[in-house]
Structure 1
């Protein structure tokens, strides 16, 4: 939804700055959720988004077969549940439509193609100064806001490893953000580097499309079905994590057997313990493991170097490939522009504080969706942020109105 300057609560400042009660950086699910929760409390906000649409990750950088990994009840944003007839695991294209509807339903005020260059707190005025560039015109803009919500997400920029010799690889080299489907890869020898959920699903997609697929699995990982993970989420509400993990690992053994026979070692800690205490996620299997077990997808160790079209691995073996796809995730760029903060956001661009205090910083700074708690955590954080902001906003601004 494009910005409209008819909102009466955002008066112009003198000079080149513009006042806004709340500036939200990022128009993905996190930013939209905060804006909706603020609107429900009659607090105006303005979202700055560097891309050309809301939810750009889901529009421009999602592969075709992607579905939400969690059941819809855990992925709905505040104030708008999914329709009853929506599938349990919502396809990415349907989730995009949901997000666009969400932005329209709550009249999210979004300025697109704005790249935030700096956000700096000004103590004398108790105001955040947010500088942004309008990418279509090159114009510099400045916003003065009492509150800033960092909702830029952990997926700001593709993360690519520096592999010796990669520049000389003759075939296509792509990041998963550029991958859409296995169409066009039939008969090709394709290496997928990265064994998280995206890497595993892309490898499955390629194998089903007729590619001769290999996947690099460097570290131990948990493989569970989506149904197992859903059951675990429910059980953790009633049982200790260690018991839930023990039960899930028993189910995993019944379903998958000894995965180490196929080059996949399980971590020493259980899947929920790992999810809570590390940045790592379990792999929610949608069919990849059957392809690995049948030999249609080859599991390989870490890449050590590339020589021409041959890729050498840490076990000393090498194999020729026609294409390489890096499913190596993303990195945050928040620390490149966020200033005046040593408390809320860590050097990795993620929430520095532990749950449940990860969402609130100092001087009116907040973050949402940066605690690796998924959409379910985003919804909780958005409501907490909106409630906290609305208390100060309603007390201060409403009292000012009465004084006038």
Structure 2
């Protein structure tokens, strides 16, 4: 995987208090000292567990019976009850729900494992978008100026599979993802499969894995014996 600039969070160490700073903004370039189009990033924060079980497990169970937008409302209601209004601490939520957002853009909600408590206690401070950086001094969009020892840009990643995989049919050179949209991008030619390039988290990975297992099973049954690697060749699965 190769780094991709232009999205994510910036973290910095407060030079005076020696405490970390979390700055929820999307920077246009991780390499540039100035961000001309820094914008406020909205993020869904959910508890790691809800109602005594994992948030992911609860989500998958609810999706068996309810549409995505209803499940999103339930998750956000529980999250607000457990965490409170995150916007009051500078962490505004997107206008659409966490599961719908994941399906449309691939952006995964943040599962809180203690960070939010640090924000509430003041150990981690939230700042608005960065306007520009000059040496150790950071100017925020609200005109505030502060100095920091270290600024870490967590810029996200982009698939680079097309740069090293000789097959040109399964993956797109444009974005490094399968050419066919979910749920049809899991199978290529000559025993090549792709797992987890769905932008749908563990749910999408699970769908890919089951389809691949079923496909291999069907080929096995069709031959009436274990596939002969000398006749068919081995199978390969690429994980995202």
Which TM-score applies when normalising by structure 1? 0.44
Cα drift, residue 364 of structure 1: 4.8
CA 1:384/1:160 → structure 2, altered by over 3 Å: closer, same or farther? Answer: same
CA 1:161/1:267 → structure 2, altered by over 3 Å: closer, same or farther? Answer: closer
Cα drift, residue 331 of structure 1: 2.0
- Equivalent in 298, 302, 311 of residue 129 of structure 2: 302
1:227 match:
49
- Equivalent in 256, 259, 263 of residue 86 of structure 2: 259
**Cα displacement string for residues 91-137 of structure 1 (whole angstroms, at most 9, x for unaligned residues):** xxxxxxxxxxxxxxxxxxxxxxxxxxxxxxxxxxxxxxxxxxxxxxx
Contact 2:170 2:185 in 1 (8 A): no
CA distance in 1, matches of 2:194, 2:73: 33
1:291 match:
118
Q: Secondary structure at the match of 1:326?
A: strand
Contact 1:236 1:244 in 2 (8 A): yes
Report the count of equivalent residues: 205
2:180 match:
353
CA distance in 1, matches of 2:183, 2:148: 46
2:212 match:
385
CA 1:352/1:220 → structure 2, altered by over 3 Å: closer, same or farther? Answer: farther
The residue correspondences of 1:59-78 to structure 2 (distance < 5 A) are: none
**Cα displacement string for residues 37-59 of structure 1 (whole angstroms, at most 9, x for unaligned residues):** xxxxxxxxxxxxxxxxxxxxxxx
Q: Secondary structure at the match of 1:321?
A: strand
CA distance in 2, matches of 1:304, 1:335: 35
Contact 1:214 1:300 in 2 (8 A): yes
**Cα displacement string for residues 75-106 of structure 1 (whole angstroms, at most 9, x for unaligned residues):** xxxxxxxxxxxxxxxxxxxxxxxxxxxxxxxx
CA 1:344/1:158 → structure 2, altered by over 3 Å: closer, same or farther? Answer: closer
1:214 match:
21
Q: Secondary structure at the match of 2:49?
A: helix
1:366 counterpart = 2:173: no
CA distance in 1, matches of 2:80, 2:217: 49
Contact 2:43 2:110 in 1 (8 A): yes
Which has more radius of gyration?
Answer: 1
Runs of 4+ in 1 over 6 A off after TM superposition: none
Cα drift, residue 258 of structure 1: 2.3
Cα drift, residue 224 of structure 1: 0.8
Gap regions ≥5 residues in structure 2: 26-40, 232-240
Contact 2:130 2:140 in 1 (8 A): yes
Which TM-score applies when normalising by structure 2? 0.71
- Please give the root-mean-square deviation of Cα atoms over the aligned residues, in Å: 3.2
Contact 2:183 2:208 in 1 (8 A): no
Cα drift, residue 344 of structure 1: 4.0
CA 1:243/1:371 → structure 2, altered by over 3 Å: closer, same or farther? Answer: same
Gap regions ≥5 residues in structure 1: 1-155, 163-192
Q: Secondary structure at the match of 1:233?
A: helix
CA distance in 1, matches of 2:197, 2:22: 28
